Amino acid sequence: MAELAKATVETAEIDELHSPLREFWRRLSKNKLAMVSLVFLLGLTLVALFAPYIAPYDPINGIMEESLQAPNAKHLLGTDELGRDILSRIIFGARISLRVGLLAVAIALSVGTVLGSIAGYYGGKIDLIIMRFMDIMLSFPSLLLAIAFMAVLGRGVENAVIAISIVTMPEYARIVRGSVLSVKENEYVQAARAIGNRDAAIIFKHILPNVMAPIIVRGTLGISTAILETAALGFLGLGVQPPDAEWGTMLGSGRGYLFNAPHLVYFPGIAITLTVMAFNLLGDGLRDALDPRLRQ
């Protein structure tokens, strides 16, 4: 009987754990646009991972005799001014765009979460110093600030990741700070403090797990912002450098052929638009699925 009771308790705990996940997935799956976006992004990720096996041609080396060809049976999306296959370059460009977007958001989210948690939990002068510094950064347009950091750091993918993560970090810090302020006086936090838990344990074990919903949503939306800023830096010649394939760099090099070879601009622009739209729609779906106020 004791073993049966123990098994019953364990089953109930597992069901209680899985129930929120099932409810979250049920609500997310009802959002058709979010599900289509999720499928698209999963497919794009697979394409980026297996780009060397999927791309029909070398994205770096082209054939000058085949330059500026319109879409045809041999080159489905045409070729650029150096005879390189546009489809192959877009496939390899997905690698860079997704990598920069994910890395930049991961760094910005990690640092912003720590700073926002410290500011919201301790308050006082610490909160004042951290948040005023964040306000100063937010007072500048993010792209302009990213260009300034790139001018200091230099060109390249790694520096683009650093610049984008720095300029987007204040947004996450403010979101986390506001969430921490709203829950730090709850009873379970007071109880954890009363039994002698350290501040770090209270923040990371009791507060942050209960404010993850807005952080997840903002992080998903932030990936689209990072991809856009990566493309903008590449378009201006400050991001990924030729001959590497990146969507913004492809736009920048193709703008001079807009009238006689518009496919050089159309297809990279479509890739950026679809990817950014997919992340935005998925972020909206996650927001609706995680918002307890929308649950019936």
User: Which residues, 6 or more positions from 156, have their beta carbon under 8 angstroms from its beta carbon?
Assistant: 239, 240, 241
Confidence check: pLDDT of 165 > 80: yes
Q: Return the minimum-mean-pLDDT range out of 7-16, 37-46, 50-59.
A: 7-16
3 state SS for 42-90: HHHHHHHHCHHHHCCCCCCCCCHHHCCCCCCCCCCCCECCCCCEHHHHH
Confidence check: pLDDT of 5 > 50: no
As a whole-number percent, the residues of the chain with pLDDT over 90 amount to: 36
Confidence check: pLDDT of 33 > 60: yes
Domain chopping of the chain, boundaries: 32-57+73-294
Residue 186 φ/ψ, nearest 5 degrees: -65, 160
Q: What's the pLDDT tens digit per position in 210-269?
A: 788 888 888 888 999 999 998 988 888 888 887 888 898 899 888 888 888 899 999 999
Query: So what's the pLDDT on residue 49?
Result: 93
Distance CA 175, CA 238 (A): 29
Q: Name the pLDDT band for 13 (thresholds 50, 70, 90).
A: very low
CATH homologous superfamily of 32-57+73-294: MetI-like (1.10.3720.10)
The stretch 9-29 carries a mean pLDDT of: 63
Distance CA 119, CA 129 (A): 9
Confidence check: pLDDT of 1 > 50: no
Q: Name the pLDDT band for 291 (thresholds 50, 70, 90).
A: low
Entry pTM: 0.85
